[in-house]
Amino acid sequence: MPEIRSIVRENVVTAAPDAPVSDVATLMDEEDVGSVIVVEDDRPVGIVTDRDVAVKVVARREDPADVTAEDVMTGDVVTVPLDAGIFEVIRTMQDESVRRIPAVDEDGRLAGIVAFDDFVVLLGRELDQLGDVVEAEIPPYEHV
């Protein structure tokens, strides 16, 4: 079974726990991402999503400069090892009800991130290749 390292995105947008949410939101905008991994000593300790910013800050009329990443992050972030199998990661995402999951190296340091969308793209590519194989084996249709 392919390992997650084959599709993991290595360039992960990160922030410190004490980063103001205004800075985290700016990072999301500049990097065009929907989440930022909160790290301490290169280890993921939480995740802040665009939904966290909208619901826990904007909807509550909090000042994003006064709220930190740690205040709104989902702590005890679910991670997977880089050598985890793709199906194992999908199952973990389903069991934990998450759409994004950081990958860590053998020392627990952040090594990348994979999102649900990455699996959709992977599946699409695999189905396209499978379609090519099947199509090559089907005799051509004769049109009258």
CB 63 within 8 A of CB 8: no
CB 81 within 8 A of CB 104: yes
pLDDT digits (tens, 9 = 90+) for 60-106: 999 999 999 999 999 989 999 999 998 899 999 999 999 999 999 99
What pLDDT does residue 133 have? 78
> Does residue 135 carry a pLDDT above 80?
no
What pLDDT does residue 132 have? 75
Residue 58 CA, distance from chain mean position: 23
Q: Kindly indicate the confidence band of residue 117, based on its pLDDT and cuts at 50, 70 and 90.
A: confident
Mean of the per-residue pLDDT values of the chain: 91
- The one-character DSSP state at 79 is -
Residue with more model confidence, 130 or 111: 111
What domains are defined for the chain?
A: 4-115 (3.10.580.10)
Residue 47 CA, distance from chain mean position: 10
Half-sphere exposure of 60 (CA within 13 A, CB side): 12
Is this prediction's pTM over 0.85? no
Residue 16 structure tokens? 């410190």
> Does residue 126 carry a pLDDT above 90?
no
**65-68, long-range: CB < 8 A, 24+ apart:** 65/20, 65/21, 65/22, 66/20, 67/20, 67/21, 68/17, 68/18, 68/19, 68/20, 68/21
